[in-house]
Structure 1
Amino acid sequence: MQPPRRCLLLLSLLCHLLLSGTWADLEEAFTLRLLQTSTFQNTSFMDTECMGLLDDIELGSLAKHTWKIRFHQPWVRPALPRSDWDIIENMVKIYLRNFNNMVNEGAVQKDVPYPFVVQGMAGCTLYPNKTTQAFAKFAYNGQDFLNFCVDNATWLLSQDTNLSRCVRDFFNNYTDFTELMQVLFNDTCIDYVEMLVRYGKAALERQELPVATVFARTPSPAQLLLVCRVTGFYPRSISVAWLRDGQEVPPGPDTNTSAILPNADLTYQLRSVLAVAPHDGHSYACRVRHRSLGTRSLLIPWGYSDVVLIAGLVAGLLAVVAMAAVMMLWLWRRRKHRQMEESTSRNSILSKEA
């Protein structure tokens, strides 16, 4: 079950191709992630999806049947010469073929029931202070399975089963592959991140202002839930806090903030909820801090929505009054015009009779 030596040679060549960058002037951390999802229906049919991401930006993916690289951003392909991308594409194809054979052989030997799903994630994070952190893990049927510890080059169990122990022992005994993993994570991955950050600077520096609204829900007469909804912001990192009488409310059982979720337009959203007693005499506000705001903060006091609603009702009432005034003026002018026509017609008749 040892993968062919050719695969290792191609991976070593990939290391050489990518070990040519220099450190970029980074102001924040960037993470490169390679994702793989392989569904094994039986020993002869397998479906694989692979994708690469830099933070939340999709760099590219593999075509489902041909395993060719599809670039999702225009600045990814120029990061390497075409010949280098061809080598990487061939390397990926060899890896997937060997991965499929190895998994199927192991599944047959261990009587693993089909179908099953294997997921893999590997990558690294580059921090502004030039420190790095690499990671690799596998999941089996949606559950964490194995983790690779880069520091001591060993595979660790995420779940203790006969199957996970067998796979762990296989990888730990496969020293060539483990050593190569260390090179890829400690050197190649970091240089690749630095290179992509340089080519994708404009996309990574994109900023979208957050839009926030505050509204209330009343689950019971004794409780009022204040909801701060923040949406449309990019990048992902954001700070949302509640203020009571101008002082920040510390995290606790009365506060609940959702995870940051993606929008369809490549921006993000979240909600923060604060439970208060109705008419408790305090003033509340939702404070939002985001890179797009610079040193400023977005402050939305509770009650602002009511003011907007009242202002909207007043504006609507004024519009109705204005329309009514226009209609009355039009009717008055039309009546006056008819009176003038009738007066002219009457005078004309009297003139003819005379």
Structure 2
Amino acid sequence: MQPRRCCLLLHLHLLLYLLLLSGTQADLEGTFTIRLLQTSIFQNTSFVDTEGLGLLEDIELGSLDKHTWTIRFYQPWVRPALPRGDWDTIENMIKIYLQKFNHLINKGAMQKDVPYPFVAQCMAGCEVYPNRTSRAFAYVGYNGQDFLSFNMDNATWLLSQDTNLSQYVQAVLQNYTAFSELVEVLFNDTCVDDIEMLLHYGKAALERQEPPVATVFARMPKPDQLLLVCRVTGFYPRPISVAWLQDGQEVLPGPALNTSAILPNADLTYQLRSILAVAPHDGHSYACRVRHRSLGTRSLLIPWGNSEEVVLIAGLGAGLLAAVALAVISALWVWRHRKHQQMEESESRNSILSKEA
């Protein structure tokens, strides 16, 4: 076997072992996405800073120590999925792969006068569906932009941007026909048939559910605009539906409705905000509706209190206080008036008695 072909097979075996870190289990329902991420920052021809991450859905399985190129496990159930000897083999193959990868990229950069520093990124993986079919994908990025993608149907590399550099990299990869053919087989077949072990071990983590907590409040940036804010947080898994209801009818997407992206919390849950712009005192009722897997068929419905009612309640409170104050003042005045009359009557009686004496 030729040295180049041998190295390619080692690279593919590396990917095979990495894919063994995640998969699909027959008793788990739904679609699962496996992603292997690599980011390499080429500072110059002699220094490359590489980071790697393995994800099953949004669960971080492990990462690559950029100093030693060894695997760091993030979940306690990842390591038991494979024997110790397999992990040693994986780490050795990672080192071989990264050495060859860095050499190939630096060689192309020097030939095409690519300025340093630059960033190369790779993402590969697949989606596995409930019927055990799958969709595989592989992408290469350059300086944060899409660069190349791999077409699994015909085992060809496609340009995401048409430049001299992308054409050169495409030609280099396309000449590695054994690599392209084996990648196609690896992702299309192995993703379904050979990677079920980790889902078996991580079943509890994949089935974890945390219900959302929602609150509604308002801001008034302008006198003629009221912003109703629905904050939803603490939920897992990530998919969620948040909508505003006006008089019981869902508000359709438009310029008045602005919903943020779903953002992570530090406790491995998620949050988002949905903001609806309305006119103050428009006479409509509003409520935020939240649907999530953890709630089953139920929904959270958080109404926004009518501002006129709030003003009315506040007005009644102020009026009541004023009435109480007026009553106290009146009672005090009556008491003092009666006290004064009693004193005058007492002085008058004393004066009459003294005259008679």
How far 1:292 moved relative to its partner?
Answer: 1.1
How far 1:82 moved relative to its partner?
Answer: 1.4
Q: Does the C-alpha gap of structure 1 residues 210 and 225 become closer, same or farther in structure 2, counting only changes over 3 Å?
A: same
Matched, 1:227 2:229: yes
How far 1:247 moved relative to its partner?
Answer: 1.4
Percent identity between matched residues is 78
Q: Does the C-alpha gap of structure 1 residues 53 and 144 become closer, same or farther in structure 2, counting only changes over 3 Å?
A: same
Query: Alpha-carbon deviations, 1:2-58, whole Å to 9, x = none?
Result: 973333343348749959x88513322111111101011111111100110111111
Would the aligned equivalents of 1:31 and 1:54 in 2 still touch at CA under 8 Å?
yes
Cα distance in 1, alignment partners of residues 15 and 51 from structure 2:
21
Would the aligned equivalents of 1:7 and 1:91 in 2 still touch at CA under 8 Å?
no
Matches within 5 A, 1:28-177: 28-177=30-179
Aligned residues between the structures:
308
Cα distance in 1, alignment partners of residues 241 and 164 from structure 2:
44
Structure 1: 4+ residue segments shifted above 4 A: 12-19, 304-307
Aligned Cα RMSD in Å? 2.5
TM-score (norm 1): 0.81
How far 1:298 moved relative to its partner?
Answer: 0.6
Cα distance in 1, alignment partners of residues 48 and 268 from structure 2:
31
Q: Does the C-alpha gap of structure 1 residues 91 and 51 become closer, same or farther in structure 2, counting only changes over 3 Å?
A: same
**AA at the equivalent of 1:165:** Q
How far 1:76 moved relative to its partner?
Answer: 0.8
Name structure 1 gaps, 5 residues minimum. 315-354
Matched, 1:206 2:208: yes
Cα distance in 2, alignment partners of residues 51 and 22 from structure 1:
19
Would the aligned equivalents of 2:134 and 2:191 in 1 still touch at CA under 8 Å?
no
Would the aligned equivalents of 2:14 and 2:93 in 1 still touch at CA under 8 Å?
no
Query: Alpha-carbon deviations, 1:286-311, whole Å to 9, x = none?
Result: 0001111111111100129998xx9x
Would the aligned equivalents of 1:63 and 1:69 in 2 still touch at CA under 8 Å?
yes
Cα distance in 2, alignment partners of residues 192 and 144 from structure 1:
29
Query: Alpha-carbon deviations, 1:37-88, whole Å to 9, x = none?
Result: 1011111111100110111111011111111111111111111111122222
Cα distance in 2, alignment partners of residues 77 and 129 from structure 1:
28
Matched, 1:6 2:34: no
Structure with higher Rg: it is 2
Matches within 5 A, 1:289-328: 289-303=291-305
User: Does the residue aligned with 2:44 lie in a helix, a strand or coil?
Assistant: coil
**AA at the equivalent of 2:299:** S
Query: Alpha-carbon deviations, 1:305-340, whole Å to 9, x = none?
Result: 998xx9xxx9xxxxxxxxxxxxxxxxxxxxxxxxxx
Cα distance in 1, alignment partners of residues 119 and 275 from structure 2:
37
Cα distance in 1, alignment partners of residues 140 and 49 from structure 2:
17
